[in-house]
Amino acid sequence: MFRQIISLTTSNREELLDITGEVAAIVGESGVKDGLLSLYAHGATAAIMIQENWDASVPLDMIALLRKIAPRGVWLHDRQDGNGDAHLKAGLIGPSETIPVIDGRAGLSTWQGIFFCEFDGPRAERTVVCTVVGD
What domains does the chain contain, in order, with CATH numbers? 2-134 (2.60.120.460)
Measure the CA–CA gap between 37 and 3, rounded to whole angstroms. Answer: 10
Measure the CA–CA gap between 114 and 79, rounded to whole angstroms. Answer: 33
Q: What is the 8-class DSSP label of residue 82? A: S
The model's pTM: 0.96
Tens digit of each residue's pLDDT (9 = 90 or more) over 25-46: 999 999 999 999 999 999 999 9
Q: Residue 114: what are its φ and ψ, rounded to 5°?
A: -110, 130
Tens digit of each residue's pLDDT (9 = 90 or more) over 79-105: 999 999 999 999 999 999 999 999 999
Tell me whether residue 127 is exposed, middle or buried, using C-beta atoms within 10 angstroms of its C-beta: 0 to 12, 13 to 18, 19 or more: middle
Tell me whether residue 133 is exposed, middle or buried, using C-beta atoms within 10 angstroms of its C-beta: 0 to 12, 13 to 18, 19 or more: middle
